Amino acid sequence: MNSDELMKRPLEMLEEIRAFEAKDAEELERFRVRFLGAKGLVKELSAAFRDLPGELKKEYGQRVNAVKKAAEEKVASGRLRFGEKKGKKKADADLSRPVQAFQPGSRHPISLITDEIIDLFRNIGFNVAEGPEIEDDWHNFTALNLPPEHPARDMQDTFFIQRDPDLVLRTHTSPVQIRYMEKHKPPIRIIAPGRVYRVDNDSTHSPVFHQVEGLYVAENVSFAELKQTLYYFVQRMFGEDVEVRFRPSFFPFTEPSAEMDIAWKKGGEKKWMEIMGCGMVDPNVLKNCDIDPDRYTGYAFGMGVERIAMLKYKIRDIRTFYENDIRFISQFKSAR
Ligand code: PHE
């Protein structure tokens, strides 16, 4: 072949490549081998490079590159249509789909619900208070009217992280009541959100979960006010027609005590889910914090955030909150 013929070959091939349409994956593969294979035409063209005079080399090199690029593009676009290698396996993702450059995050449902709870109580004059997750015996138990040998201490299956003096992962947010009352005098109106820990693990109990504690201490606080406040809360949270019930209960730090349940439907059948404990602050608890129980009374409540989120979003297994499956977590949007 003379120089003229050599220079024309890449142009002819380019035309052939442009005109080529593979019918199926096998034909595409034959095309790939013919042009791009180890003994393919592109290799052959490149080899002819040395037979050309210097002044033509640059132009020729550009033409060969254009051939190579055109062939590679044909193969790539063909594979998008027919699937990967030799058509044996189809691509299961649509590789031509544009990427989403930004994946805006979303807040975890537990954070969303906690903030909603805080907002609802802030609206009626409560302020947020906080306490540590590692607690001493006094704040988690003793000051809450559970003396060392009190049988009610068995109610808590606790993670101890040190014995004598005892340090525990707090089993509830109630110690924040004590910490706050030790530093502030009535009137007191706080809510305390946070993580709590118990030795417990099944579809409705997690070893780590979240509570929001409430405490109101002033003169002449009554049980009626407690009920009314909680009605206000559940109606805003679940809607005006929410059905609730109070059951008499026992907590060492409240007297009298109650538990509040919310009705939900399971296949047309009515079920109750417990969402919080509550009651009038026990006079001994006030005394432990140097507050005069003859002058002041108060109420307290502690609710499970997961339970509320499960009811609100109709989630069956508490453990889904902690699996960090983005498909689950990103479904939730703030109501606000
Ligand atoms: N601390 C209790 C619990 O974790 C809930 C509670 C709080 C009950 C305040 C009464 C008053 O179960």
- Read off the pLDDT of residues 206-231 as tens digits, 9 standing for 90 and up: 899 999 999 999 999 999 999 999 99
Residue 252 has pLDDT above 50, yes or no: yes
Distance (angstroms) between ligand 1 centre and the Cα of 96 equals 55
* Mean pLDDT (whole number) for 329-333: 82
| Containing structural domain, residue 274 | 109-332
Are residues 302 and 202 part of one domain? yes
Among 135, 170, 174, the mutation site with the greatest number of ligand 1 atoms within 8 A of its Cβ is 174
Are residues 45 and 175 part of one domain? no
- Domain for residue 187, yes or no? yes
Are residues 51 and 153 part of one domain? no
Q: What is the pLDDT of residues 4-46, one digit of tens each?
A: 999 999 999 999 999 999 999 899 999 999 999 999 999 999 9
- The secondary structure element, H or E, covering residue 192 is strand 188-197
Are residues 175 and 239 part of one domain? yes
CB neighbour list of residue 216: distance below 8 Å, 6 or more residues apart: 126, 187, 188, 189, 225, 226, 229, 298, 299, 300
- Domain for residue 325, yes or no? yes
Return the ligand 1 atom nearest residue 214 CA.
9
Residues having CB closer than 6 A to ligand 1 are 172, 174, 251, 254, 257, 277-279, 300-302
Are residues 158 and 15 part of one domain? no
Are residues 113 and 74 part of one domain? no
Distance (angstroms) between ligand 1 centre and the Cα of 191 equals 13
Contact (CB, 8 A) for 109 and 321 = yes
The token duo for 166 is: 């005892």
The token duo for 50 is: 């040395």
| Count of structural domains, the chain | 2
Bridge partner list, 247: 259
pTM: 0.69
Q: What is the pLDDT of residues 277-309, one digit of tens each?
A: 999 999 999 999 999 999 999 999 999 999 999
Rounded Cα–Cα distance for residues 179 and 175 (Å): 6
Are residues 131 and 50 part of one domain? no
Are residues 273 and 220 part of one domain? yes
Q: Give the CATH number of the domain where residue 326 resides.
A: 3.30.930.10
Alpha-carbon distance values, 53 to 3, 8, 48, 50, 200 (Å): 8, 15, 11, 8, 84
Report the percent of the chain where pLDDT is more than 90.
71
Are residues 197 and 127 part of one domain? yes
Residue 336 has pLDDT above 90, yes or no: no
* Residue nearest atom 9 in ligand 1 by C-alpha distance: 301
